[in-house]
Chain A
Amino acid sequence: MKPAGAAPRHPARAAVRTLTAQGWPARIAAILVAAAILGPLAAVIRHAGGLSGLGSGDIDALWFTLWQAAVSAVLSCLLAVPVARALARRRFPGRGLLISLMGAPFILPTVVAAMGLVAVFGRRGMVNAGLEALGLPGVTVYGAQGVILAHVFLNLPLAVRMVLHGWQAVPSERLRLAAALGFGRAEVARHIERPMLRAVLPGAFLAIFLVCLTSFAIALTLGGGPRATTVELAIYQAFRFDADAGRAAALALVQIGVSVIALLASLALTAPPAFGAGLDRADAPPVRGARVKDALVLGAATLFLLLPLATILLRGLPALFDLPPSILRAAGTSVAIALGSTVLTLALALPLALAAPRARWAEVAGTLPMTASSLVLGTGLFLILRPFVNPVTLALPVTLLANALMSLPFALRLLMPEARALRADYDRLAASLGLRGLARLRLLDLPRLARPLGFSAGLAAAFSMGDLGVITLFSDGQRQTLPLALYQLMGAYRMDLAAAAACLLMALTFALFWAFDRIGQNADPR
């Protein structure tokens, strides 16, 4: 069989127009998403009444937001290159497992991540202890540096995956040609790596930039202060502490503006960010030399990404079985919301992804949630619901919806390349056999998309587990989610139980991700 995604050979292929009626589920999904995003945005904009209420502190926050997002994205990309290079050219036992494990921080709830980073990079952490022993100046995990350190920790896995994916997309013929021509490392870098990086890195940069733009939980936990206040954090302060919905809305307007500009820039790039799992390619020619360097790079990256997780585990385990029933109940609520929002994410993402190759609007609709941060969305929903019901009574459905919407762009990005390949390779065959509707979904779309569907479901569940955005605005204190309960424990001096709750949160998040990813892989009939 021809490799998936190969370009059509004849002009007639490109213009093949199938007459299958797949349009309506995508249309419904697009309308739902557009309503759920644009409605709250409109409510926020209407409520904001302009930007006149913003002061110099807010300008500072805007600059810091842009600066930290740019620095975090640049650092993540730069560090990802040697790591991905080493992973691409080395074959060793456990490589697949290492690639999976190195992805873990990306799905780690930020509350937990902050705890782990403090344990490793804090004043009393092992890194500073080591540096002190060597007589070197220490590092700080607080303030601006902390925000950037944490963002690199959380997003380096994404950058590594994207660059690694770029390596794997290099046709093996080209690598073999390079070997046949006796290319050294410099020539490989010049003729293969650099062109690939030029294609991949802008997309990786913008994807991470966008994620970091709306981050606030890190500054929330590691400490913002005037030098490290992001716009999203200012929205949180305005909404929660000042109860000033107008100011929150004005800040939200700024946030939307920045996100839309960044998003348009990323849509203008042709190469969409791909998060494909790292698969082994048997025919990559072996690379000689630089073995020690690659080993060092991989070792350092592994330590950087996994040590914080290990410390969470070590700190949390002793009290894990002392966790009271209320925490387990909160964990149950979190898992239930995560499962619900995962189902909703897939129900929206799948029809949009299947329609996206032939309809640009489907891709636009699925990307819309990136214009609204979780707090902006929450603020807007609050403003919309307020005249009709007590928003608090809708805490769980609203959280479920918001979490699903936040995961949608990621799921869409994961599904689209496969959907595109599926269309290019099998649309005509399916049409010629009259395979359409539910039969097509069952026999063609679901089996072919099983892997990215499982991966998307895992991401959606993980993101939902760690969410601390919308729920904080709507919570009534009765139905706790696990991250909120964790905060309550800390607020009640129960730091050991909080560490155990963090451990539980991490374990549940990884378990859900792993389970969905597994289901996807097992359902893949290939």
Chain B
Amino acid sequence: MLTLDNLHLQLGDFRLEADLAITTGARVALMGPSGAGKTTLLSAIAGFLAPQSGRILWNGADITGMPPGDRPLSILFQDQNLFPHLTVAQNIGLGLDPKLRLSAQDRDRIEATLARVGLTGLGARKPAQLSGGQQSRVALARALLRARPMLLLDEPFAALGPALKGEMLALCAEMAREQGTTVLMVSHDPQDARALCPETVLVAEGRALAPQPTGVLLDDPPPVLAEYLGQTRRDQV
């Protein structure tokens, strides 16, 4: 279980509070207006932003001060998920050993994972030789191989077309189910949230609220979310 214990984040004038828990294996969307702090919250959980106060716990263990790479999670950013000067196989290999000292067995696992995400035989290529969708698959393959208990998605597929994005999200969900991964996903699209995330954390007005069932939240959004989603509340129709 991921616990954000009375977490206070501050970035210049911007403040965000979070005091909530997410159960292991849950798939949670982070929704809210632009600039509300969704990415900031993910950054703090991933270890890129030290909180002003409060703690981040995983299964009861305090990970607040842990280096990003040691945390029980993988994160996919909006962009720059791959090192352009390393091959696809090396990029994935970093998930097994950051020093890239790979055994034959490791190499087999990388090949297998590549096959798993539909990139058989492309291990020797550089990222620039792949399409956007293929690049996303490489990043996902690495996360799959790292097999950390949590997967944070900071809109890694935003640049892909709707069909491709849906396909990638489905792949994520499938992986998460297989490995029992807890997924936290920033989302702007209610469709995605409904399709993939049974629960949603609303981030708005300086607070991240406890997870709520996505369907319920989207069916009857509070004003701040409704405005963001471009809906008017049904009861006012």
Contacts and interface: CB of A to CB of B under 8 A. Distances in A.
A435 B98 contact: yes
A10 B49 contact: no
Nearest to B100: A443
Contacts of B75: 432
A147 to B, nearest CB: 45
Contacts of B135: 1
A431 B100 CA distance: 15
A477 B131 CA distance: 64
B85 A432 contact: no
Contacts of B70: 434
B92 to A, nearest CB: 11
Contacts, number: 97
A222 B79 CA distance: 56
A433 interface: yes
Interface in B157-171: none
A97 interface: no
Interface in B27-70: 39-40, 43, 46-50, 67-70
Interface in B64-102: 67-70, 74-75, 77-86, 90, 94-95, 98-100
Please classify the interface of chain A as helix (H, G, I), strand (E, B), loop, or mixed, using the class held by over half of its residues. Answer: loop
Contacts of B100: 439, 443
Contacts of B69: 431-436
A15 B68 contact: no
A433 B67 CA distance: 10
Nearest to B80: A425
A447 B90 CA distance: 13
Interface centre among A439, A440, A448 (most CB of B within 10 A): A439
B83 A426 contact: yes
B84 A526 contact: yes
B99 A16 contact: no
Interface in A507-526: 524-526
A3 to B, nearest CB: 11
Contact of A16 (B48, B74, B83): B48
Nearest to B41: A12
Contact of B47 (A431, A435, A443, A448): A431
B14 interface: yes
Interface in A410-445: 425-426, 428-429, 431-436, 439-440, 443-444
B67 A428 contact: no
B84 to A, nearest CB: 5
A17 B98 contact: no
Contacts of A524: 85
A447 B82 CA distance: 14
B67 A434 contact: yes
A434 B73 CA distance: 11
B17 to A, nearest CB: 16
A393 interface: no
Contact of A525 (B11, B74, B85, B142): B85
Interface of B: 11-12, 14, 39-40, 43, 46-50, 67-70, 74-75, 77-86, 90, 94-95, 98-100, 126-128, 135, 142
- Across the A-B interface, give the 4 residue pairs with the lowest CB-CB distance, nearest first: A434-B69, A525-B85, A431-B68, A439-B99
14 contacts: A9-B78, A10-B40, A12-B39, A12-B40, A12-B48, A12-B49, A17-B48, A19-B68, A429-B77, A431-B67, A432-B75, A433-B94, A434-B98, A436-B69
Given A15-B49, A431-B69, 13 more contacts: A1-B82, A1-B128, A11-B40, A12-B40, A12-B48, A15-B11, A433-B69, A433-B98, A434-B98, A439-B100, A443-B99, A444-B83, A525-B86
